[in-house]
Protein backbone atom coordinates (compact mmCIF):
# COMPACT_ATOMS: atom_id res chain seq x y z
CA UNK A 1 0.00 0.00 0.00
CA UNK A 2 1.15 3.50 -0.81
CA UNK A 3 0.05 6.77 0.72
CA UNK A 4 0.69 10.27 -0.54
CA UNK A 5 2.89 12.38 1.77
CA UNK A 6 1.08 15.67 2.38
CA UNK A 7 4.38 17.61 2.66
CA UNK A 8 6.41 16.21 -0.21
CA UNK A 9 3.57 15.01 -2.46
CA UNK A 10 5.38 11.73 -3.12
CA UNK A 11 3.96 8.23 -2.57
CA UNK A 12 5.30 6.43 0.50
CA UNK A 13 5.05 2.69 0.99
CA UNK A 14 3.16 1.68 4.15
CA UNK A 15 3.56 -1.76 5.69
CA UNK A 16 1.21 -3.65 7.94
CA UNK A 17 3.33 -2.78 10.97
CA UNK A 18 2.74 0.90 10.26
CA UNK A 19 -1.01 0.41 10.27
CA UNK A 20 -1.09 -1.31 13.63
CA UNK A 21 -3.12 0.68 16.09
CA UNK A 22 -5.04 2.65 13.48
CA UNK A 23 -8.78 2.01 13.47
CA UNK A 24 -8.73 0.49 16.96
CA UNK A 25 -8.24 3.82 18.70
CA UNK A 26 -4.69 2.92 19.77
CA UNK A 27 -2.02 5.42 18.80
CA UNK A 28 1.32 4.16 17.55
CA UNK A 29 4.26 4.61 19.85
CA UNK A 30 6.69 7.40 19.01
CA UNK A 31 10.12 8.22 20.29
CA UNK A 32 10.99 11.34 22.27
CA UNK A 33 11.87 13.10 19.00
CA UNK A 34 8.50 12.39 17.37
CA UNK A 35 9.83 9.78 14.93
CA UNK A 36 8.47 6.28 14.58
CA UNK A 37 10.69 3.75 16.36
CA UNK A 38 12.54 1.53 13.98
CA UNK A 39 12.23 -2.16 14.00
CA UNK A 40 15.03 -4.40 15.14
CA UNK A 41 15.86 -5.20 11.52
CA UNK A 42 16.31 -1.52 10.66
CA UNK A 43 18.50 -0.69 13.65
CA UNK A 44 22.21 -0.86 12.93
CA UNK A 45 25.05 -0.94 15.35
CA UNK A 46 26.62 2.50 15.44
CA UNK A 47 29.55 3.58 17.60
CA UNK A 48 28.62 5.76 20.57
CA UNK A 49 31.33 8.29 19.72
CA UNK A 50 32.93 9.30 16.48
CA UNK A 51 36.66 8.61 16.20
CA UNK A 52 38.75 11.61 17.10
CA UNK A 53 40.61 13.31 14.29
CA UNK A 54 44.35 13.01 14.59
CA UNK A 55 47.07 15.11 13.02
CA UNK A 56 50.47 13.81 12.14
CA UNK A 57 53.17 16.22 13.29
CA UNK A 58 56.87 15.89 13.83
CA UNK A 59 57.82 15.62 17.45
CA UNK A 60 60.28 18.21 18.62
CA UNK A 61 63.60 16.76 19.77
CA UNK A 62 64.28 16.79 23.47
CA UNK A 63 67.09 18.86 24.88
CA UNK A 64 68.82 17.71 28.09
CA UNK A 65 66.00 15.28 28.74
CA UNK A 66 63.34 18.04 28.57
CA UNK A 67 61.00 17.95 25.58
CA UNK A 68 60.93 21.09 23.49
CA UNK A 69 57.59 22.93 23.54
CA UNK A 70 56.19 23.78 20.13
CA UNK A 71 53.19 25.82 19.03
CA UNK A 72 50.46 24.64 16.73
CA UNK A 73 50.92 27.83 14.73
CA UNK A 74 54.37 26.58 13.69
CA UNK A 75 52.75 23.88 11.58
CA UNK A 76 50.24 26.15 9.86
CA UNK A 77 51.07 27.25 6.37
CA UNK A 78 50.91 31.01 6.11
CA UNK A 79 49.72 32.69 2.91
CA UNK A 80 51.57 35.90 2.08
CA UNK A 81 49.43 38.63 0.53
CA UNK A 82 50.98 40.75 -2.20
CA UNK A 83 49.75 43.52 -4.45
CA UNK A 84 49.36 40.97 -7.26
CA UNK A 85 47.30 38.49 -5.22
CA UNK A 86 48.33 35.74 -2.86
CA UNK A 87 51.58 33.85 -2.85
CA UNK A 88 51.71 30.42 -1.30
CA UNK A 89 54.87 29.33 0.48
CA UNK A 90 57.02 26.60 -0.97
CA UNK A 91 56.17 23.00 0.09
CA UNK A 92 57.59 22.19 3.48
CA UNK A 93 58.21 25.84 4.44
CA UNK A 94 56.46 27.25 7.48
CA UNK A 95 56.67 30.89 8.47
CA UNK A 96 55.09 33.20 11.04
CA UNK A 97 54.21 36.83 10.44
CA UNK A 98 56.39 37.84 13.37
CA UNK A 99 59.44 36.50 11.52
CA UNK A 100 58.91 38.98 8.68
CA UNK A 101 58.67 42.07 10.87
CA UNK A 102 61.74 44.31 10.75
CA UNK A 103 63.64 44.28 14.00
CA UNK A 104 64.72 47.60 15.52
CA UNK A 105 68.44 47.89 15.98
CA UNK A 106 69.66 50.46 18.44
CA UNK A 107 72.29 52.77 17.05
CA UNK A 108 75.70 52.67 18.64
CA UNK A 109 76.20 56.08 20.33
CA UNK A 110 79.94 55.89 19.60
CA UNK A 111 79.29 55.96 15.84
CA UNK A 112 78.39 59.30 14.22
CA UNK A 113 74.88 59.86 12.92
CA UNK A 114 74.58 59.11 9.23
CA UNK A 115 72.88 61.93 7.41
CA UNK A 116 70.26 61.24 4.74
CA UNK A 117 71.17 61.05 1.08
CA UNK A 118 68.99 64.03 0.21
CA UNK A 119 70.33 67.60 0.60
CA UNK A 120 69.76 69.54 3.80
CA UNK A 121 67.20 71.94 2.32
CA UNK A 122 65.08 69.04 1.03
CA UNK A 123 65.09 67.33 4.41
CA UNK A 124 64.25 70.60 6.17
CA UNK A 125 61.42 71.22 3.69
CA UNK A 126 60.03 67.78 4.50
CA UNK A 127 60.07 68.65 8.20
CA UNK A 128 58.31 71.95 7.56
CA UNK A 129 55.63 70.19 5.52
CA UNK A 130 54.45 68.48 8.71
CA UNK A 131 54.55 71.41 11.13
CA UNK A 132 56.03 74.86 11.75
CA UNK A 133 59.50 75.20 13.27
CA UNK A 134 61.51 78.16 14.39
CA UNK A 135 64.87 78.72 12.75
CA UNK A 136 66.83 77.73 15.86
CA UNK A 137 64.90 74.48 16.38
CA UNK A 138 65.10 73.55 12.70
CA UNK A 139 68.86 74.20 12.60
CA UNK A 140 69.36 72.03 15.69
CA UNK A 141 67.41 69.18 14.07
CA UNK A 142 69.54 69.31 10.93
CA UNK A 143 72.79 69.21 12.87
CA UNK A 144 71.62 66.30 15.02
CA UNK A 145 70.58 64.43 11.87
CA UNK A 146 74.14 64.49 10.59
CA UNK A 147 74.38 67.64 8.46
CA UNK A 148 77.19 70.08 9.06
CA UNK A 149 76.55 73.52 10.51
CA UNK A 150 77.36 75.16 7.16
CA UNK A 151 74.85 72.94 5.36
CA UNK A 152 72.19 73.73 7.98
CA UNK A 153 72.80 77.51 7.68
CA UNK A 154 72.63 77.40 3.88
CA UNK A 155 69.42 75.41 3.99
CA UNK A 156 67.81 77.90 6.39
CA UNK A 157 68.76 80.86 4.19
CA UNK A 158 67.22 79.20 1.14
CA UNK A 159 64.00 78.24 2.96
CA UNK A 160 63.61 81.73 4.41
CA UNK A 161 64.03 83.30 0.99
CA UNK A 162 61.27 81.04 -0.32
CA UNK A 163 59.11 81.90 2.72
CA UNK A 164 58.95 78.24 3.75
CA UNK A 165 60.29 79.15 7.18
CA UNK A 166 59.52 82.34 9.10
CA UNK A 167 60.10 83.14 12.76
CA UNK A 168 57.39 85.82 12.60
CA UNK A 169 54.83 83.29 11.40
CA UNK A 170 55.96 80.73 13.96
CA UNK A 171 55.78 83.23 16.85
CA UNK A 172 52.28 84.31 15.81
CA UNK A 173 51.10 80.70 15.57
CA UNK A 174 52.61 79.67 18.91
CA UNK A 175 51.24 82.76 20.66
CA UNK A 176 47.76 82.16 19.30
CA UNK A 177 47.80 78.63 20.74
CA UNK A 178 48.73 79.53 24.34
CA UNK A 179 47.43 83.08 24.62
CA UNK A 180 43.93 82.34 26.06
CA UNK A 181 45.25 80.52 29.14
CA UNK A 182 48.63 82.08 30.10
CA UNK A 183 50.10 85.47 30.91
CA UNK A 184 52.68 87.57 29.12
CA UNK A 185 55.59 86.14 31.11
CA UNK A 186 54.74 82.55 30.06
CA UNK A 187 54.40 83.61 26.43
CA UNK A 188 57.79 85.32 26.50
CA UNK A 189 59.39 82.26 28.14
CA UNK A 190 57.92 79.89 25.57
CA UNK A 191 59.13 81.96 22.61
CA UNK A 192 62.56 82.35 24.18
CA UNK A 193 62.88 78.57 24.55
CA UNK A 194 62.10 78.18 20.83
CA UNK A 195 64.90 80.56 19.85
CA UNK A 196 62.85 83.67 19.06
CA UNK A 197 64.80 86.89 19.71
CA UNK A 198 63.70 89.45 22.28
CA UNK A 199 62.68 92.13 19.79
CA UNK A 200 60.31 89.81 17.95
CA UNK A 201 58.97 88.48 21.25
CA UNK A 202 58.08 91.97 22.49
CA UNK A 203 56.45 92.87 19.18
CA UNK A 204 54.35 89.69 19.31
CA UNK A 205 53.21 90.29 22.90
CA UNK A 206 52.16 93.85 22.05
CA UNK A 207 49.76 92.51 19.42
CA UNK A 208 48.07 90.20 21.94
CA UNK A 209 44.95 90.97 23.94
CA UNK A 210 45.79 92.83 27.19
CA UNK A 211 46.74 90.56 30.06
CA UNK A 212 44.25 92.23 32.45
CA UNK A 213 41.39 91.16 30.17
CA UNK A 214 42.63 87.60 29.68
CA UNK A 215 43.06 86.92 33.39
CA UNK A 216 39.38 87.68 34.03
CA UNK A 217 38.39 84.86 31.68
CA UNK A 218 40.91 82.40 33.12
CA UNK A 219 39.87 82.97 36.75
CA UNK A 220 36.21 82.18 36.04
CA UNK A 221 36.90 78.51 36.77
CA UNK A 222 36.98 79.41 40.51
CA UNK A 223 33.53 81.03 40.47
CA UNK A 224 31.86 77.91 41.86
CA UNK A 225 34.32 77.62 44.77
CA UNK A 226 33.80 81.26 45.73
CA UNK A 227 30.00 80.83 45.71
CA UNK A 228 30.22 77.78 47.99
CA UNK A 229 32.85 78.76 50.56
CA UNK A 230 33.49 82.45 49.93
CA UNK A 231 36.90 84.00 49.34
CA UNK A 232 38.75 82.24 52.15
CA UNK A 233 42.47 82.57 52.78
CA UNK A 234 43.06 79.03 51.50
CA UNK A 235 41.14 79.67 48.27
CA UNK A 236 42.90 82.99 47.77
CA UNK A 237 46.29 81.27 47.96
CA UNK A 238 45.12 78.58 45.56
CA UNK A 239 44.00 81.15 42.99
CA UNK A 240 47.23 83.13 43.38
CA UNK A 241 49.40 80.03 42.81
CA UNK A 242 47.31 79.00 39.82
CA UNK A 243 47.65 82.36 38.07
CA UNK A 244 51.28 82.98 39.02
CA UNK A 245 52.31 79.58 37.65
CA UNK A 246 50.75 80.51 34.30
CA UNK A 247 52.78 83.70 34.03
CA UNK A 248 50.27 86.39 35.07
CA UNK A 249 51.68 89.46 36.79
CA UNK A 250 50.79 90.55 40.33
CA UNK A 251 48.69 93.45 39.03
CA UNK A 252 46.62 91.08 36.86
CA UNK A 253 46.17 88.65 39.76
CA UNK A 254 44.78 91.44 41.97
CA UNK A 255 42.30 92.34 39.24
CA UNK A 256 41.24 88.68 39.09
CA UNK A 257 40.70 88.59 42.87
CA UNK A 258 38.49 91.66 42.78
CA UNK A 259 36.57 90.19 39.86
CA UNK A 260 35.77 87.04 41.88
CA UNK A 261 34.55 89.07 44.85
CA UNK A 262 32.36 91.49 42.91
CA UNK A 263 31.17 89.16 40.12
CA UNK A 264 27.77 87.45 39.96
CA UNK A 265 27.22 84.49 42.22
CA UNK A 266 27.44 80.98 40.83
CA UNK A 267 24.02 79.48 40.11
pLDDT digits (tens, 9 = 90+) for 170-215: 999 999 999 999 999 999 999 999 999 999 999 999 999 999 999 9
Domain contains 231: yes
Domain contains 16: no
Identify the pLDDT of residue 15.
75
Most confident of 16-20, 34-38, 41-45, 221-225: 221-225
Which pLDDT tens digit goes with each residue over 86-105? Answer: 555 555 555 566 655 666 66
Residue 52 Cα to chain centre, angstroms: 44
d(CA 159, CA 83): 38
d(CA 85, CA 82): 5
Domain contains 200: yes
d(CA 245, CA 7): 86
79, 86 contact by CB (below 8 A): yes
Are residue 201 and residue 217 in the same domain, yes or no? no
Confidence (pTM): 0.56
Give the chain's domain count: 3
d(CA 265, CA 267): 6
Mean pLDDT of the chain: 77
d(CA 93, CA 77): 8
Are residue 159 and residue 177 in the same domain, yes or no? no
201, 194 contact by CB (below 8 A): no
Phi then psi dihedrals of residue 87, to 5 deg = -125, 120
Are residue 219 and residue 267 in the same domain, yes or no? yes
Domain contains 105: no
Are residue 198 and residue 244 in the same domain, yes or no? no
Identify the pLDDT of residue 32.
47
Boundary-marking domain end, from 104, 135, 165:
165
Domain contains 174: yes
240, 253 contact by CB (below 8 A): yes
Domain contains 45: no
Q: Could you list the residue range(s) of the whole structural domain that residue 184 is in?
A: 166-208
Residue 256 Cα to chain centre, angstroms: 40
Are residue 201 and residue 241 in the same domain, yes or no? no
Which pLDDT tens digit goes with each residue over 37-59? Answer: 555 555 555 555 555 544 444 45
Using pLDDT thresholds of 50, 70 and 90, give the confidence band for residue 63.
Answer: low
Question: Looking at the chain, how many residues does it have?
Answer: 267
Boundary-marking domain end, from 142, 165, 188:
165
Are residue 200 and residue 228 in the same domain, yes or no? no
7, 15 contact by CB (below 8 A): no
* Domain CATH number, residue 138: 1.10.10
Amino acid sequence: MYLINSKTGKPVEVTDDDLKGYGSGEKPKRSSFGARPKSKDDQTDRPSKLPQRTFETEEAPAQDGVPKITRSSDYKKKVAKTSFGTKKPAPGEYARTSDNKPKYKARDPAQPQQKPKQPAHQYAGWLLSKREYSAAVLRRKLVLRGYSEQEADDALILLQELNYQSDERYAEMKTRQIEPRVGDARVALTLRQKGIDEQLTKATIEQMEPEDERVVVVVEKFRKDVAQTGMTQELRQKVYRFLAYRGFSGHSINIAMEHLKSGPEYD
